[in-house]
Chain A
Amino acid sequence: NAGVMQNPRHLVRRRGQEARLRCSPMKGHSHVYWYRQLPEEGLKFMVYLQKENIIDESGMPKERFSAEFPKEGPSILRIQQVVRGDSAAYFCASSPSLTDTQYFGPGTRLTVL
Chain B
Amino acid sequence: LAKTTQPISMDSYEGQEVNITCSHNNIATNDYITWYQQFPSQGPRFIIQGYKTKVTNEVASLFIPADRKSSTLSLPRVSLSDTAVYYCLVGEAGNQGGKLIFGQGTELSVKP
Which residues does A use to contact B, with CB under 8 Å?
Answer: 4, 31, 33, 35, 41-45, 48, 55-56, 58-59, 89, 91, 93, 98-107, 109
Instruction: Kindly list chain B residues whose C-beta atoms are within 8 Å of the C-beta of A56.
Output: 97-99
Q: Are B93 and A45 in contact (CB under 8 A)?
A: no
Q: How far is the CA of A1 from the CA of B45 in the complex (A)?
A: 16
Residues 24-59 of chain B, each 1 if its beta carbon lies under 8 Å from chain A, else 0: 000000000010000001111110010000000000
Q: Which residue of B43, B87, B104 has the most chain A CB atoms within 10 A of its CB atom?
A: B43
Which residues does B use to contact A, with CB under 8 Å?
Answer: 34, 41-46, 49, 87, 93-95, 97-105
A45 touching B100 in the complex, CB below 8 Å, given contacts A98-B93, A101-B94? yes
Q: Are B98 and A98 in contact (CB under 8 A)?
A: yes
Q: How far is the CA of A45 from the CA of B97 in the complex (A)?
A: 11
A102 touching B42 in the complex, CB below 8 Å, given contacts A42-B87, A42-B105? no
Q: Report 8 cross-chain contacts, Cβ distance below 8 Å, ordered by A residue.
A: A33-B100, A45-B99, A56-B97, A56-B99, A58-B99, A93-B100, A103-B46, A107-B41
Instruction: Kindly list chain B residues whose C-beta atoms are within 8 Å of the C-beta of A107.
Output: 41-43
Instruction: Kindly list chain B residues whose C-beta atoms are within 8 Å of the C-beta of A102.
Output: 46, 95, 100
